[in-house]
Amino acid sequence: MSQPAPSASAPVPDAKHRLVEVPGGRIHLVEQGSGPLVLLVHGFPESWYSWRKQLPALAAAGFHAVAIDVRGYGRSSKPHEVDAYRMLAHVADNVGVVGALGAEMAVVVGHDWGSPIAANSALLRPDIFTAVGLLSVPYAPRGGVRPTDAFARIGGSEEFYVSYFQEPGRAEAEIEPNVRAWLAGFYAGLSADTMPPAGEDPLFFVPEGAKLSDRFVGDTLPSWLTEADLDFYAAEFERTGLTGPLNRYRNVDRDWEDLAVWGGSPITQPSLFIGGDLDPSTTWMADAIKAYPTTLPRLVSSHILEGCGHWVQQERSDEVNRLLVDWLQSLPAHASS
């Protein structure tokens, strides 16, 4: 079952909004084009709208491009329970979307948190997700250390941002009084043209008694983000709040337990990685990228974009579109139909 969704959003010409039913509730999606299905999964704190530049490009290249609002975001379902945001639930949502669209297979592409959601969709359901594209966050198989224990060791006397996000209500109390300003600072702090200079205090660490936003620098928007874009993002989170998106971080230990049987497993479908050389995710996880011959044995291509920050498909949309289309068109027929 599906139904049209009202579009109170900044428009993408020729794109269609829909609500589809999945076992966990409903997913709002925006689609454009026809052909092999490409499912686009955003990260934190974002939206389907993060793929606004990819939808028409993929459609023009002969693909059915579908950008979802991940559960907890936008017009998708927002369960109250923290554990409703575990990785297995996100994988089930992706499977449900493919079925609701009448497809049997899809290529899945994710950015930021969407990257591990895409990776685990491919890992757990290779029968459905026949290729996987990962943006900004490299694939790293489940390891032997409980995530919250690992994060607690990072940063010394300061608190790593993932640890900061663990307590329900804590980060919400920082963000929700002025969502627009917080988003602007967070986006700018990880964008190549507005991030803090090398050597300054890192954005992702919180001194005792401080807030994450205390490390934000200036009030200049990055070049990829217009005032209208920021208005769209802010309006989405002002309507929905931040608890659902933050609950993704609050399930890292549950994910570690749920995915134990897949510990150390490679992803064997054709894959793609695109990252920015100024993105902390790329530098922190350099060892994961070096391990790709083992962890992504069918990696088609890997690209580190010079002078690019974290928001790769928005910062460098033309380049990312070209890389995505070239990769998609290189896939075997069975991996993109």
Query: What is the distance between the alpha carbons of residues 190 and 222, in angstroms, rounded to a whole number?
Result: 9
Three-state DSSP at 37 gives: strand
What DSSP element (H or E) covers 294? helix 292-295
Contact 46, 233 (CB under 8 A): yes
Query: What is the distance between the alpha carbons of residues 175 and 196, in angstroms, rounded to a whole number?
Result: 20
Q: Which of 112, 229, 258, 279 is catalytic?
A: 112
Q: Dig out the tokens for 305 from the structure.
A: 């974009």
Distances in Å between the Cα of 322 and the Cα atoms of 100, 107, 273, 296, 303 are 28, 16, 13, 22, 12
Contact 270, 300 (CB under 8 A): yes
Q: Could you give the angle at the alpha carbon of 48 between the alpha carbons of 266 and 308, nearest 5°?
A: 65
In 199-334, the DSSP E strands lie at 205-206, 271-276, 299-305
Q: Annotated catalytic, 112?
A: yes
Question: How do beta strands 64-68 and 37-41 pair?
Answer: parallel
Contact 273, 138 (CB under 8 A): yes
Q: Annotated catalytic, 93?
A: no
Contact 128, 95 (CB under 8 A): yes
Q: How far apart are the first and last CA of the chain?
A: 22
Query: Looking at the annotation, which residues are catalytic?
Result: 112, 310
